[in-house]
Structure 1
Amino acid sequence: MMNDVYEKFLKSSEEFIFAENKPEKSDIIFVPGNGYPQMAEKAAELFKKGMADWILPSGKYSVVNGKFSGVLEKSNVYNKEYGTEWEFLRDVLIKNGVPDQKILKEDQATFTYENAIYSRQVTDHAELEIERAILCCKSYHARRCLMYYQLLYPETEFYVVPVNADGITRENWRKNEEGIDAVTGELSRIVKQFSLMLER
């Protein structure tokens, strides 16, 4: 009986954290800041299929590190000196066939909530009405990312397209300590961060 309850808890946690949708034609593709190229590569793929008119990568660098901590994969392909996550993600998009004039700029955010806040400022400044949006993010980061963007774009319909960037997936997260830590860490951050935000 206890095993059944625990299994249900794990399954419901998994369903919650690993948010995912089939993308539909949207106004924009959001790519929250990071040092992995896979999310921007996926965004470029969707853009070239005609899934959106604009892409907005967002990010300065991690507030923890105080600087762009470098390209975490495919550094032989994306091998420039990047000052910000935005510069890196822009380079990934351009090298994957996205026209520079279709890439919006947000290079001030230092954590996920700021990605959403400053992205909203950018789209408002550009006078873009965002009715539908695609969100390309790391697989186990999907729910928290979606919740932040939904806070800033309450009228927007989002389609989450998660990407496996560092090996932790819906299928394997329970099988090693790194995956368990990543998913339970996301659950903890959602509870703590959103409870504080909703109290304000």
Structure 2
Amino acid sequence: MVARFKDGRPVVFLIGTDRALWHVWTDAQGPEGFKATDTFGGGDAASIAVTRGRDGRLAFFHANKKGEVWVIRETAPSAGWGDFTKVFDGGQEIAAATQPDGRIAVFSATEGKARIHVEETPGGPWAPALDVSLPGGKVVRGDSANLVTDSDGRLLAVWVDQGVIAVARQDTVNGSAFTTSKIEGTENVVLQPTAVAGPGRGISLAYAAADGGATYVRLT
């Protein structure tokens, strides 16, 4: 998973074969000068997510095998790292994004629920989770989670529920209400969807179906 420090330098976050959390970064803004990988520790990581807050600091999240979601933030933009703090329980696959008002949102998909967790204030405590599960659906553990910000500033969560792509779109920018639906014609998804915002209004999705075909969908 690739992100950039506020000063433009790239940094790569990954889960190692030892299930620990690792990252590698560079002193330059291009591929030159990558340092050796460094570990955050751990050993039971299940999924990771990263976003940059309004203050310019990166926030790196991970869910472990017990379903605990933790975050570690930079102490200052493009600087060192602070300590891990626990965000919530009940996360398996996670994704993160930052709203226009600066509050970070984390989407979690588990066996039974799809939830969105949002900070009450930028860098502050977390509000109660918002359940955005597909009515009558059952999120399958291991399905990939996506969370992106559309060009109009609204959040869009994407996941797979029993082989069908489900989406939850924020009703208003920075709002607490979401509308959830499934994308018709996306049955039997086997390769988890990848969601990309822009250019322009809308979200692009790419996924693979059981018949082996690759499919591109544009959500407006």
**Shorter-chain TM-score category?**
under 0.3
Q: Which has more strand, going by share of residues?
A: 2
Tell me the TM-score normalized by structure 2.
Answer: 0.25
Tell me the TM-score normalized by structure 1.
Answer: 0.27
Q: Which has more helix, going by share of residues?
A: 1
